[in-house]
Structures are given as structure tokens and as C-alpha cells.
Structure 1
């Protein structure tokens, strides 16, 4: 049985609505996966997709959306806000994390 933890991130109402619509009827990948991946000169990049629950995942209920995050990624997602924008030619998910400023 999976345990539900306090989420390190949040989904806006727009993002949650779009994800809920995309998840409808998805039996093979019934969770929204949010994570990070290493990326060259610009550091880490956020990633988002649909997946099944794995052994190394934490499960969260965020705005009514079942979200999974690899245990090792949680610390990099603290304070993240995921939004969905649909303005003219700009449509898609947007990541905002004021706590992820580059120190140097």
C-alpha cells in the first residue's frame, strides 16, 4: 500500500484541470510523474509525464491529481509551481520555482 506524503510542489487550478482530463481512462500510466533530469550547462531541467507507480516513488494527491515523484527528486522540487498556460500561440505547462536560483 502506498503512503501519501505532504507534497513538495503545487499545481495551479489550470494545470490540475488539464492533467485530470489527460489522465481520464489511462489505465497503464494512471499517475502524473514530475521530476528532474540533469542537463549540461544549464543544470537541471524539470520533466513531466504519465507513468505507473514504482518502488522508489513517493505518491502525492495534489489538487485531486495523483502525482508520483522519485524519492531522490523530491528535494529538487520543493517550492515548485506547475501551471498550464493557453494564451494565443503559447500553450503548455510552465514551471516556476523561485527557490531554484543559481548560487554563485
Structure 2
């Protein structure tokens, strides 16, 4: 019986890893699309493709890095929290990395 519980824990951990990764990547993609649209509306220009490019004005590069990093990070965190909540409702327990000993 002990082998089954170890396998179930391993399967549960793999399922959570895949589920949380897909949720975070999806949220980051949606956030990036929204950010590009918002940047264009606010500045009238496309967001910098590579802020490290010397042709990009330093002020613009820093602003893009701050805005995009903040919003994409928040979107990923919120998606991971929603995924954990869904996992909890589906299985009755928290995902393996979030369980307290």
C-alpha cells in the first residue's frame, strides 16, 4: 500500500507542476498582449522589442521594464493562486508544494 501512496503523491506533484505552469504561461501571454495594447494607446508607439538596444531611449526602456515586469509578475501570481484554488476544490487538498507539514 505504501507504494501506491508514494506514486499518488508523485502523480499529484507532476499534475500540479503541469497545471500551474500552463496557468502561469497563459496568464503571462494574456498580460503581455494587454500590455502591448495599453502601451501603444498610452504612448502612440509600439513597445520596445529589446529594451537593451542602445537605439531605445533609456527612459522608455526603464518604463517598459518596470511596467511589463510588474504586470506579468502579478498576472502569473494571480493565475497560480487561482490554479491552487481550483486544485484544492478538485482534490480536497492543497497542491503538494503548498502543503504545510
TM-score by length of 2: 0.23
Which structure has the greater CA radius of gyration? 2
Q: Which has the higher contact order (CA 8 A, sep 6+)?
A: 2
TM-score by length of 1: 0.23
